[in-house]
Structure 1
């Protein structure tokens, strides 16, 4: 199972690398909403950092079997790294959620922009690649979030305690 998680994390790194690449390449090519390429660039960097952190944690767990077990046995360094990992994971996740909400606002406030600059109004356009990739990435994340919430709800219904049916 740990090998599957490691491979999945490695494959998922394609997404932030693509976000960073498109954000850098088209940084100046969306004057209608200049924060859209910045949304991709910053979001890609933070997501890549989070995935590297998760990959590092998965490899560390595989190497030491369990960091928390070694902490319980008195290894203060392992406990520190475990607490640091959890703190960084929470901070990065909260940032990514907030950044995703901000990016959604920036993207959908310019819904269906022109993809070529007009001669009389050269600042009212956004590069097709950056805009469509941003919308696809944004909507894909909303779909994954909905699937995750549905899975959590289904698991909560299936694995509820046996005495949950008793009304007090």
Structure 2
């Protein structure tokens, strides 16, 4: 009985023929080999391009994470250890310490929020959170101005000789100075990046009117 069923099924397949994979172009057709793996030449170029993009994104992400975490931690350590080692301007090590204490949790929250938004496909827009964020940014900007005043006004008077009334620990002063210089450069580049296109649009509208 089983042999007869097998022979009848086999005979039916021979009469109807097996379905042709390439001829099935309906909506329920399975994907072709080329649609999955692409053409040989173009697929290799596309694959290499995707690998390079992934590597670049990984490198940029790694560098960003290292900078966002290592710089505030370094500021906290230097400011705490050298808190009383800058008589020429006692607020410089305090500026380092307070800046690091504020930047470290802010950067951790930023990295966590970016990861959460990317994982859940959210844009992270929230009116209350954005308001608090801008208040915090205003504080950072005011604190940045204060640090710039404390550091740059002592550049001509600072001494690295211990016992001098104008003494400041070289590590404290150098780290504060270059942190402010790099931050000023990044702030200037950010302003150019965001407001230069806006100025071009305003000029074009003024010319058209």
Structures share fold, TM-score greater than 0.5? yes
Answer yes or no: is the 8 Å Cα contact 1:32–1:110 preserved in 2.
Answer: yes
- Equivalent residue of 1:32, what SS? coil
Deviation string, structure 1 residues 22-52 (Cα, Å, up to 9, x no partner): 1112111101111000001101111112211
**CA–CA separation in structure 1 for the residues paired with 2:133 and 2:174:** 29
Which structure has the greater CA radius of gyration?
2
Q: Any unmatched runs of 5+ in structure 2? A: 1-52
2:127 is the alignment partner of 1:91? no
**CA–CA separation in structure 1 for the residues paired with 2:129 and 2:88:** 39
- Equivalent residue of 1:28, what SS? coil
* Greater RCO (Cα-Cα under 8 Å, separation 6 or more): 1
Superposed counterparts of 1:21-36, under 5 Å: 21-36=77-92
Name the counterpart of 2:45: none
For residue 150 of structure 2, the aligned residue among 106, 123, 142 is 106
**CA–CA separation in structure 1 for the residues paired with 2:64 and 2:131:** 20
2:142 is the alignment partner of 1:127? no
TM-score (norm 2): 0.62
**CA–CA separation in structure 2 for the residues paired with 1:84 and 1:48:** 22
Q: How many residue pairs were aligned?
A: 149
Answer yes or no: is the 8 Å Cα contact 1:50–1:89 preserved in 2.
Answer: no
Answer yes or no: is the 8 Å Cα contact 1:32–1:124 preserved in 2.
Answer: yes
TM-score (norm 1): 0.76
**CA–CA separation in structure 1 for the residues paired with 2:95 and 2:129:** 25
For residue 96 of structure 2, the aligned residue among 32, 37, 40 is 40
Query: 1:32 and 1:99, CA in 2 relative to 1: closer, same or farther beyond 3 A?
Result: same
2:182 is the alignment partner of 1:140? yes
**CA–CA separation in structure 2 for the residues paired with 1:36 and 1:15:** 16
For residue 120 of structure 2, the aligned residue among 64, 74, 91 is 64
**CA–CA separation in structure 1 for the residues paired with 2:64 and 2:128:** 20
Q: Any unmatched runs of 5+ in structure 1? A: 69-78
